[in-house]
Each structure stands twice: as structure tokens, then as C-alpha cells.
Amino acid sequence: MIKAVLLDVDNTLLDFNESAKETIKSAFSELSIEYSAGIIDVFLRVNDSLWRRIEEKEITREELHRTRWNIIFSELGINADGQEMERLFLSGLENYAIPVDGAIDLVKYLAGKYKLYTASNAPYAQQVKRLTLSGIIPYIEKILNFEEQGINKPQKQFFSACLKAMRPVQKEEIAIIGDSLSADIAGGKSVGITTVWFNRKGEKPEPGLCDYTVERLSDIKNIL
């Protein structure tokens, strides 16, 4: 019987893509850079690539912050200070907390049945503020983030630390909900917890990668 649910934050509870777009628009305005529609697509592609490299232990979080906007500006042909843009992006992102469709309703539903925890690779203080702004934080038992130890999803150590923090609930009593097969689902599988993949893009993965798949958050009510 499930007693606790581990929730991913970005693009599961909060719409990172839309939040990032608004943050970039604000930072570009401050830097007097013209924003155009295609910029968010370049950002998401580069950002996703860098985070995959972090998951595979090819680069560190610090390297991402040092290089991300230099790479993006280079691809876009924009002559601007990548480090200053990174600073503005990180400080600005915490001000945007746009919920994914159905997220608030889902959290309220789950909180009536289970203890809820969040697991995120994003900076702790940033997620606290964003979850507070969204109105989700009152339903969360604990925000789990192990940035100080340098442990990220999908490392098994990250999820083992989550299980330890969720005691006395046992792993057989925990489910994880997340949008990333590599970070959330594979990580959950590594420690033997039930996995629910939020397949928000309608992809077709190989069979057996997760225990359950939903394309809408509201469908989770049929599972948990």
C-alpha cells in the first residue's frame, strides 16, 4: 500500500518551460536584448543537453552555470555577457511559479491520502520560493534536495537519501511521479519504488520502463 508520494517539481508540478520563458524575457529586457519566439527553443535544447550531461556525470552543476548562456548566445549570434545573463536568469527564475495544468488539483487530492515530498535538482531556496508562490508548499511534508552533498537525480545515492529522509515509510510504500524517464523514473527504479511517468509530450517509450504512464496529471487519480 502506498503511503507517501515523491513529486518532481519542474515540468511536473511547475511549468519550467513557461517560467523560463518569462524569466528570459525579463532578463533580456534588462540587458537591452530583443527577445524573439525561437530563443526559448534554443534555451530548452541547450539546457536539456547540459542537464543530461550532469546526470551522466560528464560535467558539474558549476560548469553548467558557467557555460550555459555563453553557448546559447553563441548559437543565437548574440553578443552579450553570458555570466551576467546566467546571474539574471538564476535570480529571476524564482519569481515565476506557473503550475502545470492540473497540478494544484492533483496535489490537493494526493495530500488527502498520502504524505507528499518533492525531489528536485534545482537550488533548494529557489524551489522553496516557487512552491510557496504557487500555493503548493502547504501540502508538502518536506522538500528533498541534496545540492550541498553534490548529489543529483538520477544518482542512486540521491534516491537512497530520499528514502532515508522519508522514514519510517518503507520503499514498498513510496511512489514517484515525474516527467523525466532518465532522472525521475530510472532513479526511482534504482531504489525499487513505484514509478509513475508523466508523459507530458505523448512520447512512445520502450515497454517496461515504468510502472504506470499518464499523459494528464488528472489521470493519476485512477492510479493512486
Distance from C-alpha of 193 to C-alpha of 187, rounded to nearest angstrom: 9
Distance from C-alpha of 179 to C-alpha of 182, rounded to nearest angstrom: 9
pLDDT number for residue 16: 96
pLDDT number for residue 45: 97
Residues 102 and 123 in one domain: yes
Contact 153, 184 (CB under 8 A): yes
Residues 157 and 128 in one domain: yes
Residues 73 and 158 in one domain: no
Domain boundary among 67, 93, 119: 93
* CATH number of the domain to which 71 belongs: 1.10.150
Tell me which residue of 161, 204, 187, 201 sits closest to 12, measured CA to CA. Answer: 201
Residues 78 and 112 in one domain: no
Residues 88 and 163 in one domain: no
Domain boundary among 39, 66, 93: 93
Q: Whole domain around residue 30: which residue ranges?
A: 16-93
Residues 88 and 25 in one domain: yes
Residues 27 and 10 in one domain: no
Residues 111 and 8 in one domain: yes
Residues 161 and 214 in one domain: yes
Looking at the structure of the chain, the number of domains it has is 2
Contact 162, 6 (CB under 8 A): yes
Residues in the chain with pLDDT values less than 50:
none
pLDDT number for residue 150: 81
The model carries a pTM of: 0.92
Residues 216 and 154 in one domain: yes
pLDDT number for residue 111: 98
Residues 89 and 103 in one domain: no
pLDDT number for residue 135: 97
Domain boundary among 43, 71, 93: 93
HEC string of 101-127 equals CCHHHHHHHHHCCCEEEEECCCCHHHH
pLDDT number for residue 21: 97
pLDDT number for residue 67: 97
Residues 207 and 120 in one domain: yes
pLDDT number for residue 110: 98
